[in-house]
Homo-oligomer: A and B are copies of this chain.
Amino acid sequence: MSEKKIPYKIYLSEDEMPRVWYNLRADMANKPAPLLNPATLQPMTAAELEGVFCKELVAQELDDHTPYFEIPREIRDFYKMYRPSPLVRAYCLEEKLDTPAKIYYKFEGNNTSGSHKLNSAIAQAYYAKRQGLTGVTTETGAGQWGTALSMACGYLGLDCRVYMVKCSYEQKPFRREVMKVYGASVTPSPSETTEVGRKILAQFPGTTGSLGCAISEAVEAAVSTPGYRYVLGSVLNQVLLHQSIIGLEAKTALDKYGVKPDVVIGCAGGGSNLGGLIAPFMGEKLRGEADYRFIAVEPASCPSFTRGAYRYDFCDTGMVCPLAKMYTLGSGFIPSADHAGGLRFHGMSSVLSQLYDDGLMEAVAVKQTDVFAAAEEFARVEGILPAPESSHAILAAINEAKRCRETGEEKTILFGLTGTGYFDLVAYGKFHGGEMHNFAPTDEDIARSLAQLPKVD
């Protein structure tokens, strides 16, 4: 390779780090549908939400018109421990694929939580602390969010109780241990510690759990413990707001070099990474200033965009949460336990759901073994061992770059590399050992689950 005009890694200086988060909803003509109170079917009020969430976060959750929110200095100081994160030009991958495409990825894995989740964790913990709360509860699937929240709470001196989806709890013992280093308590979900947990266990003995179950337990624990609130690592508008720092940094870095992506690709579970990465680009598209293609990549085992319905549904299995309008497989949907990593949530961010429904974004579902093959190909040329979640985006980016090889198009591809796979080596081992399989729900599975949706629309 010859010397490059664009460096392998573009690092913004700390001065160039965004001082505001961008609220994509402000530029949406069709606003995402409001959260509904399941009892009254009326939009949730701030007062109702403040029993579950911190006051400041409720304000962010409900605000669909303020375009920018200032990032408090304390949060920016914390961000500086691991941000700005690098935007990497994937020269080695391009060469390996022999493609005329130019591939960039925004790498969010260079922190101990191993993912982008820390961006919202510190924000949510900060507002809880500022409100004078004692602690927070949450759920975690693959473990990134729980680790991130543990780190943020450890830093601020806030109690942290994590309900961890049981199959991840068992598959990823080291994740539990990291959370403990940062002082969190970790309970496998469903558990006997909550009413909703006991109910789910009675109904589905031996269940390996789901994010939906764990959310129900964490919410119950929060509302029944004085001085506690619940925090969530994805799906919510506030989380996408905090995660906009990913896209804002990526865009600033690309702008510095006069680069404009043709297509922006992200993995999608609840939508936190994808929503954050695309935010400023989608904003330009919504305002008619530029055009981009956006691709959400989801697992074939949990295909909410590509096979779900755009309906009001509960975010949790226990049906204790407000109703959100979203692409959903039904809150009773539990993805195959053999699926490694996260992206196992039955629904999708309301913001992203509306954009997808408006035809502003594409979605594709991919098979697990293809994802791990892409992960390994990537690791060997780019060095980084990617998280299985992130590897969904890697696979889609590689496929796009291969199409460019066929057509000769010099497309610029930007994708989100949300994290590292250091805690996913059981899954990598299964892949190597030929013990990894592909699962997808049948049409009947999905129809059965969707039939249970609340009758709202």
CB-defined contacts of A177 to chain B, threshold 8 Å = 425-426, 428-429, 432
Task: Verify B428–A181 contact, CB threshold 8 A.
Answer: yes
A91 to B379, CA, bound (A): 33
Task: Number of A interface residues at 8 Å Cβ cutoff, please give it.
Answer: 45
* Chain A 362-390: CB-based contact to B (< 8 A → 1; otherwise 0): 00000000000000100111111100000
* Chain A 78-101: CB-based contact to B (< 8 A → 1; otherwise 0): 001110000000011000000000
A151 to chain B, nearest CB (A): 6
A121 to B429, CA, bound (A): 24
A420 to B178, CA, bound (A): 12
Q: Check A442 for interface membership: any CB of B closer than 8 A.
A: no
A80 to B8, CA, bound (A): 6
A420 to B11, CA, bound (A): 21
Task: Verify B383–A111 contact, CB threshold 8 A.
Answer: yes
Task: Verify B81–A8 contact, CB threshold 8 A.
Answer: yes
A82 to B88, CA, bound (A): 10
Q: Which residue of the partner chain B has the closest CB to A422?
A: B422
CB-defined contacts of A429 to chain B, threshold 8 Å = 177, 180
CB-defined contacts of A14 to chain B, threshold 8 Å = 7-9
Candidates B155, B173, B420; contact of A112 at CB < 8 Å: B420
Task: Verify A77–B174 contact, CB threshold 8 A.
Answer: no
CB-defined contacts of A441 to chain B, threshold 8 Å = none
Q: Check A13 for interface membership: any CB of B closer than 8 A.
A: yes
- Given contact pairs A13-B7, A112-B420, A425 touches B379 in the complex (Cβ within 8 A): no
**Could you list which residues of chain A lie within 8 angstroms of chain B, going by C-beta atoms?**
1, 7-9, 11, 13-14, 73, 77, 80-82, 91-92, 110-112, 114, 151, 154-155, 173-174, 177-178, 180-183, 376, 379-385, 420, 422-423, 425-426, 428-429, 432
Apart from A8-B14, A92-B155, A112-B422: 17 A-B pairs, beta carbons within 8 A:
A7-B80, A8-B80, A8-B81, A9-B14, A81-B92, A81-B382, A81-B383, A111-B383, A111-B384, A114-B422, A154-B379, A173-B425, A177-B429, A178-B428, A180-B432, A181-B385, A422-B422
25 A-B contact pairs sorted by A residue (CB < 8 Å) = A1-B73, A7-B80, A8-B77, A8-B80, A81-B382, A81-B383, A111-B384, A154-B379, A154-B380, A155-B381, A155-B383, A173-B425, A174-B174, A174-B422, A177-B425, A177-B426, A177-B428, A177-B432, A178-B385, A178-B422, A180-B428, A181-B380, A181-B385, A182-B380, A422-B422
